[in-house]
């Protein structure tokens, strides 16, 4: 149409007679020039925005929203706007710089605000962005269907909506299309943004009606759907408690009805207290996501606006939350509340993404302002848990936590406290406390260096002068895969368990020796069957030929098999089976706690050591196995098989615990009263 007009104008100039005045020729030239300038700018990208209250904008704009991002972001108002202290008056149908509010003078922040800002940041500087914005809070999708609008306005629309409808001459669809046609003279429509559906939650016809609105817009504006996508934002989720959460599924499934539709996720977009509308931070985040989706579709790398405020999801710590016992003194966090939820805090001003990883679950830490990040977990099981922090993909130890060797490395630790039932592993007033000594011993049989480290617990009475000549039995106590010689002391609280049990008369005074067992390094694969695994087997000659002789030579021990026991948790239980069952001349007591014992044929294992039950029961005075109800290692089948052969084996199941130190503390506590007693 424009081309025909230009040709006609040029033809008129040529047809003017020679006597026509210069003034008329000049006027004709200006008219032709005007027609040429009026061609749409291919670098002016226009987007239509429509929907209900979350597109209209419900949150109060803040200072950052009121500031115009510049002339590259334009608004064609659908209504007149009076002048304010922040901006000049706006005229319906006339382009102006865009800043909140975009919909009507008394509306709030809308996703379209930060949608446009994101495109300005993401697209080349020669491209301008324009939006046309028509939205009405609470409107049914029928309010945008030409055939349904008259009946909807007259009979269905609630009274409070009448004024909003009147602002668009009671036909919001026509208002949108009329402005869009005018805008097409200036630029090119590149997409349609919608946020609607809450009012139609559960309506099986909703998707079909949205398709009809989209197709009507494409038809009336002569748009090609393949070139003009429909971008649909999802609803307020409020962590699954959103008022219209049932609408989420129907929005997610909309691309099944409209193949050029793209759903914009609202995951973790923050909301207001009504759980129906987003708050300002939520609108900004959702708007940026609209912009990022469009930028990608247009072939550009998305960029967030530089002045995009960091959304703050405030982590509120209840008054009943107490600083964890594992926190380094002087630190307030980590904390644990009465519901066993843990709270973590760290200062990381340059970080983009911070995560806490505990109990096999990761939690994003939320920025709280001033470089502070915080997180709160789901309720955690009682007992001890390893945890890590990650900043921008790099794992590290929480600087507020004491460190513990586990998972093949040093890491943070968190104790979720039990009630009084856990007093057996806590230091008690009036109970004499033993010592845990750090020793180094020479080991010619070691493949990891000739000098090795171990810890030795001595009971409180060991130092008393009156017991200077008394000798004690010894328990060799092993940790699990990826842990170290300090694990039973720090994570397992072995020394408190021993002190309390000895003081109460439950257990006889004994020494406890803890060594690394060559299982601090990760498991390297290969056979893991009992008696055939090489992992940790390098420790066996060290224990038998170096460590035991050193302990007997340097401590007051009863150096015979009758006074020597071995026990271990997880892979330490595997080592206990391997060592004791092949060296019955050196041990008379054994126990496992969640013992990692695989591939065991009780009839043939260890050269048939269980085949003669009477002989075995005479040599091993007490055998014990435990595991947790939620443990991935369950020793019940081994216990049943041994008992069928006549082997005396005691067992117990720790209620409500898994493969963790609370299971193993309970196991040690149940094991020690039975050893070194006849």
**How many angstroms separate the CA atoms of 427 and 534, rounded?**
38
Q: How many CA atoms lie within 13 A of 341 on its CB side?
A: 15
The 10 Å Cβ neighbour count of residue 407 is 14
**How many angstroms separate the CA atoms of 16 and 279, rounded?**
64
User: Active site includes 53?
Assistant: yes
The 10 Å Cβ neighbour count of residue 626 is 27
Name the catalytic one among 53, 401, 516, 654.
Answer: 53
Q: Are 337 and 343 in contact (CB under 8 A)?
A: yes
**How many angstroms separate the CA atoms of 568 and 590, rounded?**
9
Block residue for tokens 């000659």 = 541
Which of 409, 542, 572, 405 is CA-nearest to residue 475?
572
Cα torsion 292, 294, 297, 298: sign:
negative
Q: Are 672 and 498 in contact (CB under 8 A)?
A: yes
User: Active site includes 277?
Assistant: yes
Q: Where are the beta strands (DSSP E) in 407-483?
A: 409-416, 435-442, 451-458, 474-478
Provide the angle, in degrees to the nearest 10, between the axes of the packed helices 111-122 and 280-297: 40
Q: Are 317 and 309 in contact (CB under 8 A)?
A: no
Q: How many CA atoms lie within 13 A of 121 on its CB side?
A: 19
- Give the Cα-Cα-Cα angle 187, 302, 93 (nearest 5 degrees): 25
**How many angstroms separate the CA atoms of 492 and 415, rounded?**
11
What is the DSSP secondary structure assignment for residue 154, as one 8-state letter? I
User: Active site includes 274?
Assistant: yes
Name the catalytic one among 252, 267, 274, 640.
Answer: 274
Name the catalytic one among 277, 385, 574, 669.
Answer: 277
Total length of the chain: 678
Catalytic residues: 53, 274, 277
């Amino acid at each position: 149409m424009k081309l025909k007009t230009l040709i006609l104008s040029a033809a008129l100039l040529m047809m003017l007679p020679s006597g026509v005045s210069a003034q008329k020729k000049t006027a004709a030239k200006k008219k032709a020039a005007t027609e040429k300038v009026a061609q749409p700018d291919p670098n002016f990208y226009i987007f239509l925005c429509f929907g209900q209250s979350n597109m209209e904008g419900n949150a109060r704009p803040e200072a950052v929203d009121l500031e115009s991002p510049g002339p590259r972001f334009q608004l064609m108002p659908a209504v007149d706007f009076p002048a304010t202290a922040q901006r000049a008056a706006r005229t319906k149908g006339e382009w102006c710089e865009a800043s909140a509010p975009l919909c009507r003078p008394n509306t709030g922040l809308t996703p379209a605000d930060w949608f446009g800002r994101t495109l300005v940041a993401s697209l080349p500087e020669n491209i301008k962005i324009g939006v046309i914005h028509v939205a009405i809070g609470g409107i049914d999708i029928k309010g945008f269907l030409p055939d349904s609008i008259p009946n909807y306005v007259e009979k269905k629309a609630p009274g409070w909506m009448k004024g909003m409808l009147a602002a668009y001459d009671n036909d919001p669809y026509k208002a949108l299309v009329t402005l869009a046609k005018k805008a097409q003279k200036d630029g090119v429509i590149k997409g349609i943004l919608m946020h609607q559906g809450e009012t139609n939650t559960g309506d099986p016809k909703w998707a079909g009606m949205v398709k009809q609105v989209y197709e009507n817009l494409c038809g009336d504006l002569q748009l090609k759907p393949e070139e003009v996508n429909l971008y649909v934002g999802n609803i307020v989720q409020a962590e699954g408690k959103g008022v219209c959460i049932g609408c989420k599924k129907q929005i997610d499934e909309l691309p099944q009805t409209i193949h050029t539709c793209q759903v914009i996720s609202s995951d973790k977009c923050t909301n207001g207290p009504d759980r129906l509308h987003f708050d300002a931070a939520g609108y900004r985040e959702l708007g940026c996501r609209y912009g990022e989706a469009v930028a990608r579709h247009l072939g550009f790398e998305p960029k967030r606006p530089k002045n995009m405020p960091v959304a703050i999801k405030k982590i509120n710590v209840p008054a009943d939350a107490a600083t964890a016992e594992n926190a380094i003194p002087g630190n307030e966090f980590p904390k644990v509340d009465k519901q066993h939820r843990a709270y973590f805090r760290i200062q990381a001003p340059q970080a983009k993404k911070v995560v806490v990883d505990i109990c096999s679950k990761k939690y994003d830490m939320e920025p709280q302002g001033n470089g502070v990040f915080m997180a709160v977990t789901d309720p955690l099981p009682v007992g001890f848990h390893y945890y890590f922090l990650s900043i921008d993909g790099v794992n590290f130890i929480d600087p507020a936590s004491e460190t513990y060797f586990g998972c093949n490395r040093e890491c943070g630790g968190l104790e979720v406290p039990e009630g009084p039932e856990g007093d057996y592993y806590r230091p008690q007033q009036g109970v004499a406390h033993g010592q845990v000594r750090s020793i180094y011993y020479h080991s010619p049989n070691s493949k990891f260096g000739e000098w090795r480290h171990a810890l030795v617990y001595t009971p409180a009475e060991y130092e008393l002068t009156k017991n200077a000549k008394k000798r004690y039995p010894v328990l060799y106590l092993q940790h699990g895969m990826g842990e170290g010689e300090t694990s039973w002391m720090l994570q397992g609280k072995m020394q408190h368990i021993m002190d309390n049990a000895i003081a109460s008369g439950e257990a006889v005074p004994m020494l406890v020796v803890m060594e690394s067992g060559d299982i601090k390094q990760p498991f390297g694969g290969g056979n893991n069957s009992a008696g055939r695994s090489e992992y940790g087997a390098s420790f066996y000659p060290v224990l038998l030929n170096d460590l035991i002789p050193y302990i007997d030579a340097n401590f007051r021990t009863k150096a015979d098999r009758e006074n020597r026991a071995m026990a271990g948790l997880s892979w330490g239980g595997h080592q206990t089976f391997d060592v004791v069952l092949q060296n019955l001349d050196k041990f008379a007591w054994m126990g496992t706690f969640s013992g990692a014992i695989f591939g065991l044929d009780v009839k043939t294992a260890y050269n048939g050591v269980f085949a003669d039950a009477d002989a075995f029961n005479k040599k091993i005075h007490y055998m014990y196995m435990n595991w947790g109800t939620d443990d991935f290692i369950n020793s019940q089948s081994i216990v049943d098989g041994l008992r069928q052969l006549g082997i005396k084996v005691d067992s117990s199941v720790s209620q409500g615990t898994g493969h963790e130190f609370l299971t193993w503390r309970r196991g040690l506590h149940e094991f020690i009263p039975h050893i070194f007693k006849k």
